Structure 1
């Protein structure tokens, strides 16, 4: 591909607190995943997460002010305070160090964590995620263990009060998504029942809501499924999917040629995007399967990522149920063995 792939950076003179803090949060979360299977890599992730958080907090500034080219595509509307809170809470969860909880509590109001009542969760606006994550911190929680000292520290009263406010904001988000908000802040729904936040790539908000509701609930119960017939989009707005595969045609395809020849082609894409989630239907449940209709047919990583988390939770629940079933069967076998008549050696 001949398209320019210029890289940009943030530094002390050109800050980007959103990028630094979001990356810190991702690395802290990933360190939990690899803690048992690859302890060294887990510690490495955590070390860099703490460094990035410190950097993003020390050199504060919006990344689209430093890298102005992104302002037309991914502007930072909510600013960087939500990402700093997001990173602090993930670092607290990963390290158990109370200083990160102190940060999230001390800056809760000033940074909007306990003042923003939102009805969406996206790549830009993290407040709902912050509030749900904070609501999972409980008094006497193992998350308040300090690994260095090995001592347990109870949540101080100031922690308790602020965490309760975080929890109330998380409940606002959940109730809005479930159409149970008393304040009239319910998320709009399509005639078919799909959450609808806005026209451009609406499924990112649906995926985010699914993830946060899964994380917020202590248990999952079966809900009503949507009706209709499953039909996968055939003309996804994605260059690699819409351009002929190299193994089929080894001729060089330049950037302009890929657009002129393949983008406007009135046929389905020659390649399937496995696992991708596109923007989805509009407010009337209508979907125009055209590459030029990028608001509905563009596939984005921030659509798929939350759903991966949901599937991971489902897998965890499945494994738990399988283990419980196995233990139940073993117990029944032991009981049956105990009821079997004993043969006597006496005649």
Structure 2
């Protein structure tokens, strides 16, 4: 989980204040938001600007030779990023000054790339693909795929199996769920902390399963490891949904966890259990959980038919619960899940997303009818260029469109229209462009941990290009069109950027290439392992490792960090969690992308 709020609220003209905690015993950040009770959302098309009235206060133990960064003025995102659920804008303070030591200065590009709408789309994307081509290298996608999947073993919670390959990790959280009388051991830590958040874990599992479904046949020797990564997630989700009408959605107290810097094997923070039920609904997290179970049932259909049936039957029950008892889980669990994984987008998209996966997994008519009946009611066409753990709209449209392109469900034609519009919103040089590109050609969207957008949107580009290829279709974008080859080219460019084809020649996958992040925001990676330091390292004792300028002692191979800011600048520093923290939902879509490009170099 990205420490602190994943998005910061921008309302009216109030200023947002961001300070960094000065205490060694409380590494991390505190976000103070203005009182918004009498401040209506900005509904105009004019961007608002905010100033940070005081610069961040850097912790005393950190030696900082200079602060590098552009103006403190921050532009709010356009109206297309407006979140209907909370009726607020959300933005990331991407232009905060960066921390740099004398030996680690940042390269700053002048401004983001923009393209005149009149330029032909093929020319513009071709230009993006050729950016920095003089230094572009031939990537070993197979090696990157192996490392990308290996990362998930470093995120495992619970009792580790004998074939565990990340050897510096050990058993952890062996009593999770005991306080509630249930077994909630296992699963994944979502990022650099020690909390198990059910919402992003379920999305991670769904995307791992989709990667195997679409690209498993070309994964070669890594297919078995990918399937095991899916099963580690679904085994936990089955435990979390074992009681009818209940879904356990979180283990651990995020506030106490974020006040400590300790490896998971030592953690002594509260392992509070949070759940949803009929009186405290959570259609969003329950819907995503149903989607994950249904998608995984396809993965195991021929490999383990009994397990596959268990997954599908559970998905049906969880979806029925999510649809019958509607509501956002953060309404009743606000203090536990916010500001970390609040439902900012509403639960409607997760219901459609779950129904789409249940239709694909079961082929039952009732789910097809549900999708058609609820397309408008559940707003399938809203925010069509968003896709991630909190917003499934683009994913729904791409997934359902395959049925249309294969000639199976003409009643889903509107979903194909939405999917086409999503593709056009990503293509530079069109009047439909709704994302920003950095000078180096990286997709950039508002919100923390930008690589989550890069990998998830690129996955959809690749998946949709394959569906179009099979149907011999192209995407119409006004007076231009985009071919499947063009979509693949743009997706490949994003993957290559992650692997090192970027202005600072940095691979954002740990352990891949000759230059990659050394000081990632990750407790287990940055604190000496139990094999090297068997004695316990307590909550506050770990702070010195958080503030240390030294590289992390344990290399979390395959971890993809949040990545550079909109100017392609990257601080290789733990305090800058939005840039230096890896997450499972960054890597999960990347598995499918790397599998395809390994087979089609």
- Quickly say closer, same or farther: Cα 1:312–1:32, change in 2 above 3 A: farther
**Residue of structure 2 equivalent to 1:66:** 332
Once residues 597 and 305 of structure 2 are traced to their aligned partners in structure 1, the CA distance between those partners, rounded to angstroms, is 25
**Residue 170 of structure 1: which of 419, 429, 432 is its match?**
419
**Residue of structure 1 equivalent to 2:343:** 76
Once residues 240 and 212 of structure 1 are traced to their aligned partners in structure 2, the CA distance between those partners, rounded to angstroms, is 31
Once residues 92 and 180 of structure 1 are traced to their aligned partners in structure 2, the CA distance between those partners, rounded to angstroms, is 36
- Quickly say closer, same or farther: Cα 1:171–1:117, change in 2 above 3 A: farther
Once residues 407 and 360 of structure 2 are traced to their aligned partners in structure 1, the CA distance between those partners, rounded to angstroms, is 11
**Residue of structure 2 equivalent to 1:298:** 581
**Residue 92 of structure 1: which of 359, 367, 375 is its match?**
359
Shift of 1:294: 0.5
- Quickly say closer, same or farther: Cα 1:248–1:171, change in 2 above 3 A: same
**Residue of structure 1 equivalent to 2:591:** 308
- Quickly say closer, same or farther: Cα 1:112–1:193, change in 2 above 3 A: same
Once residues 309 and 7 of structure 1 are traced to their aligned partners in structure 2, the CA distance between those partners, rounded to angstroms, is 33
**Residue of structure 1 equivalent to 2:568:** 285
**Residue of structure 2 equivalent to 1:262:** 545
Once residues 135 and 199 of structure 1 are traced to their aligned partners in structure 2, the CA distance between those partners, rounded to angstroms, is 27
**Structure 2: gaps of 5 or more residues:** 1-266, 470-483, 507-514
Shift of 1:314: 4.6
Native 8 Å contact 1:117 1:169 kept in 2: no
1:111 aligns with 2:378: yes
**Residue 13 of structure 1: which of 258, 279, 286 is its match?**
279
Shift of 1:139: 7.8
Shift of 1:178: 2.5
Once residues 25 and 141 of structure 1 are traced to their aligned partners in structure 2, the CA distance between those partners, rounded to angstroms, is 23
Pairs within 5 Å for 1:1-347: 1-68=267-334, 69-114=336-381, 116-138=382-404, 155=409, 160=411, 163-179=412-428, 181-183=430-432, 185-198=433-446, 200-218=448-466, 219=469, 221=485, 223=489, 225-226=496-497, 227-228=501-502, 229-230=505-506, 231-258=515-542, 260-314=543-597
Native 8 Å contact 2:385 2:393 kept in 1: no
Give the secondary structure class of the aligned counterpart of 1:125. coil
Shift of 1:98: 1.6
Give the secondary structure class of the aligned counterpart of 1:10. strand
Native 8 Å contact 2:349 2:380 kept in 1: yes
- Quickly say closer, same or farther: Cα 1:17–1:257, change in 2 above 3 A: same
| Cα deviation digits, residues 244-286 of structure 1 (max 9, x gap) | 011111111112211x221111111001112211110000000
| Cα deviation digits, residues 274-319 of structure 1 (max 9, x gap) | 221111000000000110001101111111111123234456x56x
Native 8 Å contact 1:201 1:280 kept in 2: yes
Once residues 263 and 139 of structure 1 are traced to their aligned partners in structure 2, the CA distance between those partners, rounded to angstroms, is 50
Give the secondary structure class of the aligned counterpart of 2:440. coil
TM-score by length of 1: 0.81
**Residue of structure 1 equivalent to 2:46:** none
Give the secondary structure class of the aligned counterpart of 1:291. coil
Shift of 1:119: 2.2
Native 8 Å contact 1:119 1:128 kept in 2: yes
Native 8 Å contact 1:120 1:197 kept in 2: no
- Quickly say closer, same or farther: Cα 1:199–1:50, change in 2 above 3 A: closer
Shift of 1:186: 3.0
Give the secondary structure class of the aligned counterpart of 1:124. coil
Once residues 180 and 10 of structure 1 are traced to their aligned partners in structure 2, the CA distance between those partners, rounded to angstroms, is 45
Once residues 98 and 16 of structure 1 are traced to their aligned partners in structure 2, the CA distance between those partners, rounded to angstroms, is 25
Shift of 1:182: 2.6
| Cα deviation digits, residues 132-157 of structure 1 (max 9, x gap) | 11111128856xxxxxxxxxxxx4xx
| Cα deviation digits, residues 98-132 of structure 1 (max 9, x gap) | 21111111111111103x14322111011010111
Aligned length: 298
Give the secondary structure class of the aligned counterpart of 1:8. strand
